Amino acid sequence: MTTVQATVSGLLRAGNLHARLDAIKRAKGAPPWSEKIVVNEQIVGTLICQPPGHPNDRHYHLVDEWWLVVEGEIDWEIEGQAEPVRARAGDFVLVPANHFHHIRPKGESPTIRLAITPPGEFHRHEREPGTGPYDR
């Protein structure tokens, strides 16, 4: 495997078809960090490592966003849900489009999740009145 670096094109691509999580963790060091694993015209897969309690912003996306929890334990506060979704290593979590969410790493050790989004999708922090998921 080639040296792990933050990339715009993604770690996996023609010429580098394989990567190991332990090698990425060694190269990136102590959290917080992120690494784009796959970036193409259809999808962006980003590996995100955070220590417990690391702050995240409350935001939403115009499309569904989903994750695989690789290591650790994370709470997702999702708009419209009475209780946070508590996810652990091996769990998948989906937040529907236009739903505010807030991600809270829990436990005693760093968390790692793989976020899957389309290219160009970013965090949105404000929403016009009447455009929320329950305003239709």
Burial code (b: 16+ CB inside 10 Å, e: under 16) for 96-131 equals bebbbbebbbbeeebbbbbbbbeeeeeeeeeeeeee
pLDDT tens digits, one per residue of 47-89:
999 999 998 999 999 999 999 999 999 999 999 999 999 999 9
Confidence of residue 37 (pLDDT cuts 50, 70, 90): very high
Instruction: Provide the pLDDT for residue 36.
Output: 96
For residue 49, being part of any structural domain is answered with: yes
Comparing 7 with 74, which gets the higher pLDDT? Answer: 74
DSSP 74-106: EEEEETT-SS-EEEETT-EEEE-TT--EEEEEE
For residue 9, being part of any structural domain is answered with: no
For residue 10, being part of any structural domain is answered with: no
For residue 47, being part of any structural domain is answered with: yes
Q: Which of 2-11, 17-26, 41-50, 79-88 has the lowest mean pLDDT?
A: 2-11
Instruction: Provide the pLDDT for residue 4.
Output: 43
Mean pLDDT value across residues 88-97: 97
For residue 80, being part of any structural domain is answered with: yes
Overall domain count for the chain = 1
Give the range of the structural domain holding residue 96, as residue numbers without chain letter.
21-117
For residue 57, being part of any structural domain is answered with: yes
For residue 2, being part of any structural domain is answered with: no
CATH number for position 37 = 2.60.120.10
For residue 135, being part of any structural domain is answered with: no
Residue 1 makes CB contacts below 8 A (sequence gap 6+) with 16, 18, 19, 20, 23
Instruction: Provide the pLDDT for residue 8.
Output: 66
